[in-house]
Structures are given as C-alpha cells and as structure tokens.
Homo-oligomer: A and B are copies of this chain.
Amino acid sequence: MEMGKISVVGIGPGGLDEMTPRARQAIENAEVVAGYNTYIRLIEKILGGKKIIGRAMMQEIERCRLAIEETLSGKNVAVISSGDAGVYGMAGLVVEMILNLPEKNRPQFEIIAGVSAVNAASAILGAPLMNDFAVISLSDLMTPWEIIKKRVRAAAQGDFVIALYNPKSKRRVTQLDEVQKILLEYREKNTPVGIVTNAGREGESKIISTLENFTREEINMFSLVLIGNSQTFVKAGFMMTPRGYNV
C-alpha cells in the first residue's frame, strides 16, 4: 500500500477567514487531523467526519507518532498548529521524527505556513513591528531560564521590538517580573507595551500599557506581549514603531 502524506498546517490566529486556502485545502484533503483540542475546536466546522487524534492534552511526541502511524496505512494526515506551525508549533517535531525514520519508511510531508500570532497581534495593536524585532518564548520547559534571560538582555541591548510568547502560565508567574526588571535597565519606564489576548478569536482583547506597569495587567497563556523599542510611541490608542530612525 502507498503511504499517505503529512501536512503540517498553520491554521492562523483562529478564525477560518484568517486561514489560507492552501491550509484549508490540506485539512480538507486529510482523512485524519491531529491537534490539540483548543485548536481543533477553532476549525471544527470544516472537519466533518474526519478522524481526530490528540484532542486531549496528549504529549506532543505521542501525537506526532500516531500521526505518522496513520500514514503507514495510506491515510493523509494534517497536523495542525495555531498561528504558524514553524513558530513554537508542530513543524519541528514532525519533520524531525520523519527524518529519523529509515528513508524507505518516511512519509511525504509538507509544511504550510500560516499567519503567525505575532503578526495577528501586531495588526490589532497598530504597527509595532515596523522595525527589527525579536521573538522570545518565556516557556522554560525546553529552554533553560538562564538562556531566555540572556536573550531578553541581548534583545534589549539591540533595541529590538520584543514579542513575548507564552508570557505566563498557571505554574509560571514570576518570569515576567524578571523580564521587566532586565528591560528597565535599558528602556524608559514609559516604553509602550501592547498585550493582545486571544488574537483573532472569541474574547479577543487588547491593552496598551507601559514597561513600568504592564505586569499588573491581565496576562495569561493566550496573551502575546509586544514591548516597544526606543522609538515606539502610542497615538490615539494605536502602538507604532516608525520604520525609520530620524537621521
């Protein structure tokens, strides 16, 4: 029997109208869809009677293993991530696990880019990413906290706009204070900070705060935090980083 194909699909921030036709097509062509429940629910309407893998908070590795197994019986599989699958999503694990297989056992695969959370959040806030930026996840599950702090410091020194993924979780509540402390060594207290929670989904909210005060705002695991650089300003409720330096 011929093996099926795996498509690793970035579904975008949430709504079907922010998912590319290419992503939707890959999901529609799949007999099996693998993804975490929160994301499966966002695309429920187009799943019809497809087999779903990994609704529960399953280990990512186990979900990938099951997805690859399905291709062995000839099924096409879509592995979904919210935003872009290549940014803290499922692309890495799927590709790595496939390439670890002996060449003759490898299913065909493709990665389909999606609208990344950082771009969705930026569009909601105004235009905060118009100059160079750094993307940092504060999750220390797989990257040591010391490395993460080093990155925050480096990004501050480089005057990058900084996008923080996974800023907080139930378990992880003090890291954001440490990040704030580091950044205040390099940036003004009134540096604009934008917080977008549930970008592009039900319950979407945005807050524009400052480096001095943002840690007191409502931030959770569905929030993305954007910290301005030395040039970022707020006007009429929008956060803006000029493209250029006034030189």
Binds B, one of A30-38, A108-116, A167-175: A108-116
Residues of B within 8 A of A148 (CB): 132
State the CA gap A206–B21 with chains docked (Å). Answer: 23
Q: Is A86 a contact of B134 with CB atoms below 8 Å?
A: no
Q: Is A20 a contact of B22 with CB atoms below 8 Å?
A: no
Closest to A85 in B: B123
Q: What 0/1 readout, one digit per residue, does chain A (115-137) give for beta carbons within 8 Å of chain B?
A: 11001101110111111111111
Closest to A20 in B: B18
Residues of B within 8 A of A86 (CB): 119, 122-123, 127-130
Which chain A residues numbered 1 to 55 have a C-beta less than 8 Å away from chain B? Answer: 10, 12-13, 15-22, 25
Smallest CB–CB gap between A26 and chain B, Å? Answer: 10
Q: What 0/1 readout, one digit per residue, does chain A (149-188) give for beta carbons within 8 Å of chain B?
A: 0110111011110000000000000000000000000000
State the CA gap A116–B113 with chains docked (Å). Answer: 9
Query: Among the listed B93, B115, B235, which residue makes an inter-chain contact with A113, where contact means beta carbons less than 8 Å apart?
Result: B115
Size category of the A interface is 35 or more
Pairs A–B under 8 Å by Cβ, sample size 17: A10-B119, A10-B123, A17-B21, A20-B20, A86-B130, A88-B130, A91-B123, A91-B130, A96-B235, A111-B124, A113-B122, A114-B115, A116-B116, A141-B244, A142-B243, A142-B247, A147-B159
* Chain A residues close to B by CB (< 8 Å): 10, 12-13, 15-22, 25, 84-89, 91-93, 95-96, 99, 103, 111-116, 119-120, 122-124, 126-137, 141-144, 147-148, 150-151, 153-155, 157-160, 235-236, 238, 240-245, 247
